[in-house]
Amino acid sequence: MRTLLPSSPHNPMLQSPTTPSSRRRFIHCAKRSDSSPIGSSRSDWQSSCAILSSKVVSQEQAAVNGHTNGSVNLVPFDDKSLTPPNKKTTPTPLSITDLSPAPMHGSNLRVAYQGVPGAYSEAAAGKAYPNCQAIPCDQFEVAFQAVELWIADRAVLPVENSLGGSIHRNYDLLLRHRLHIVGEVQLPVHHCLLALPGVRKEFLTRVISHPQGLAQCEHTLTKLGLNVAREAVDDTAGAAEFIAANNVRDTAAIASARAAEIYGLEVLADGIQDDASNVTRFVMLAREPIIPRTDRPFKTSIVFAHEKGTCVLFKVLSAFAFRNISLTKIESRPNHNVPIRLVDEANVGTAKHFEYMFYVDFEASMAEPRAQNALSEVQEFTSFLRVLGSYPMDMTSWSPSSSSSSSSTFSL
Ligand SMILES: O=C(O)C(=O)Cc1ccccc1
């Protein structure tokens, strides 16, 4: 996939510590109150974490009995008047209510996503956690690490699309990292063709977008007579940003109407996805799993494998079929090169190679006995089993007529 350079400085995003220098952008954490950039090198990355953690420590120091730098900071006391210190300057002791986790309804939640503002993943973050602080990251790997390093509370990951199918690389990421799926969002995706103001379709020699964007609009582009080069980039809004920042007049981006607004591009064609009911499913990831419940529909995602090949699949599927548990997804991924670490009851780890990994989503909560029984049976048949998460299903009903994706306007 091609990386477009340079990016405009108005788009701060978290960047991988391993990003090669040729790919480095001018970055800082999104929505920091100062705009001082945090560099993309490993040491800058680490120091940004150090800054975050030292801030946390100093706040605690201020709050807990005035201790700073290891010495006791006594609360000033006016001994002339012998009046008690002003309430405002007196640190309030922590109470038990400060320790119980507040319910998070989205505000204050820091949600990492891959891409720049205007990306669909940002919209998915907003749908899952209204008023959250969305943190742009240049790669999915960085979004995962941001959560692991406590820079973010959640990561948003697109996993499948009604037109383009599964986003396989993101399944691999779920396996490589230890984050838990805590929610899902189904987002209707309404693509636009964007170009610099004044550019006409006849001038175009190239269309750029995220591979999913290109795949989802392939037929419509051809119908529009755009038999020009297609180029895959990291995210849809990044494609729009690139065109605007570099004043590229022979290229159009497939991205959202919001990306057009943010980067000052014109919408040449609206609703260019090949199917009006184009929906992408995103999962929300966190460091800790949520407690599964039974008072609303839940979905559970698992991954499993067996040393002796794929013959286990039939047995596993029967464990769900016998209990009337519907599967909403089954996906196999070749896994020849990546050894999986298995841990036994004595916590002794061994590395194993599995030919295929199987991903299954089923409609039941891990709080339900039928799901627990199905999984104990699956465990008997398999050498490796991991529950990726049990989480509330996104029940939003969407249809071409109920979403904005119903209309298509081609004004080329
Ligand atoms: O590139 C983006 O904007 C993303 O969030 C990934 C994506 C791309 C196309 C459809 C859905 C999600």
Q: To the nearest 10°, the Cα dihedral for 96, 97, 98, 99?
A: 60
Q: Compute the 3-state secondary structure of the chain and give helix, strand, coil in percent, each to the nearest 5.
A: 30, 25, 45
Strand partners, 343: 349
DSSP for 262-331, please give it.
Answer: HHT-EEEEE--SSSSS-EEEEEEEESSPPPP-SSS-EEEEEEEE-TTTTTHHHHHHHHHHTTTPPEEEEE
> Which pLDDT score is estimated for 184?
97
Ligand 1: distance of its center to the CA of 104 in Å? 26
96 pLDDT higher than 70: no
| Lowest-confidence pick of 168-182, 183-197, 229-243 | 168-182
Question: CB 228: neighbour CB atoms within 10 A?
Answer: 15
Q: Tell which one of 13, 116, 121 to mutate to probe ligand 1, the residue whose CB is within 8 A of the most ligand atoms.
A: 121
Residue 78's contacts (CB-CB under 8 Å, 6 or more residues apart) are: 85
Where does residue 76 rank: exposed (0-12), middle (13-18), buried (19+ CB within 10 A)? Answer: exposed
11 pLDDT higher than 60: no
Does the active-site annotation cover 362? no
402 pLDDT higher than 60: no
What are 332-381's pLDDT values in tens digits? 888 766 777 766 667 677 777 788 889 999 999 999 999 999 999 999 99
124 close to 112: Cβ distance less than 8 angstroms: no
Q: Is 121 in the pocket of ligand 1 (CB under 6 A)?
A: yes
CA-based nearest residue to 264, from 56, 2, 10, 40: 10
> Which pLDDT score is estimated for 23?
34
Does the active-site annotation cover 280? yes
Q: How far apart are the first and last CA of the chain?
A: 28
For 369, what's the count of Cα atoms within 13 Å in the CB-facing half-sphere? Answer: 0
Confidence label for 88 from pLDDT (cuts 50, 70 and 90) = low
Tell me the pLDDT of the chain averaged across its residues: 77
Q: What is the mean pLDDT of residues 289-303?
A: 95
What are 213-223's pLDDT values in tens digits? 999 999 999 99
Rounded to two decimals, what is the model's pTM?
A: 0.74
Ligand 1: distance of its center to the CA of 203 in Å? 26
In the set 280, 300, 304, 362, the catalytic residue is 280
| Amino acid identity for residue 409 in this structure | T
> Which pLDDT score is estimated for 412?
34
In the set 242, 282, 298, 362, the catalytic residue is 282
What are 121-147's pLDDT values in tens digits? 999 999 999 999 999 999 999 999 999
